[in-house]
Amino acid sequence: MAGSLYARGSELSTAAVTSAPELEIAAVSKRYGSVMALESCSLSMNRGEILALLGPSGCGKSTLLNIIAGFETSDTGSIRLRGRSLNDVVPHRRDVAMVFQNYALFPHMTVAENIAYGLYPRRLDATTIRARIDEMLALLKLSGLESRYPAQLSGGQRQRVALARALAIQPQMLLLDEAFSALDRNLREEMQLELSLLLHRLQVSTILVTHDQREAFALADRIAVMETGRISQIGAPREIYEQPASDHVLQFLGTTNSLDGIAEAAGTTMALRIAGGLAFACPPQAIPLRAGERAVVYIRTEDVGIALHPTAVHTSEPGNVSLVTFLGAQERIVVSLGAQQVVIERPTRSTSQQIAIGAAAFLDFDPAKCRIAAPAVSP
Interface with other proteins by CB under 8 A: which residues? 69-71, 90-98, 100, 102, 104, 106-109, 117-118, 120-122, 148-149, 151-152, 165-166, 169
The nearest distance, CB 125 to other proteins, in angstroms, is 16
The nearest distance, CB 117 to other proteins, in angstroms, is 5
Which of residues 151 and 377 has its CB atom nearest to other proteins in the complex?
Answer: 151
* CA–CA dist 266, 240 (Å, integer): 32
Which of residues 66 and 256 has its CB atom nearest to other proteins in the complex?
Answer: 66
Which of residues 68 and 299 has its CB atom nearest to other proteins in the complex?
Answer: 68
Which of residues 117 and 241 has its CB atom nearest to other proteins in the complex?
Answer: 117
Which of residues 144 and 288 has its CB atom nearest to other proteins in the complex?
Answer: 144
The nearest distance, CB 82 to other proteins, in angstroms, is 16
The nearest distance, CB 352 to other proteins, in angstroms, is 55
b/e map 332-360, b = 16+ CB within 10 Å: bbbbebeebebbbbeeeeeeeeebeeebe
Which of residues 103 and 298 has its CB atom nearest to other proteins in the complex?
Answer: 103
The nearest distance, CB 32 to other proteins, in angstroms, is 16
The nearest distance, CB 148 to other proteins, in angstroms, is 7
The nearest distance, CB 62 to other proteins, in angstroms, is 13
Which of residues 97 and 112 has its CB atom nearest to other proteins in the complex?
Answer: 97
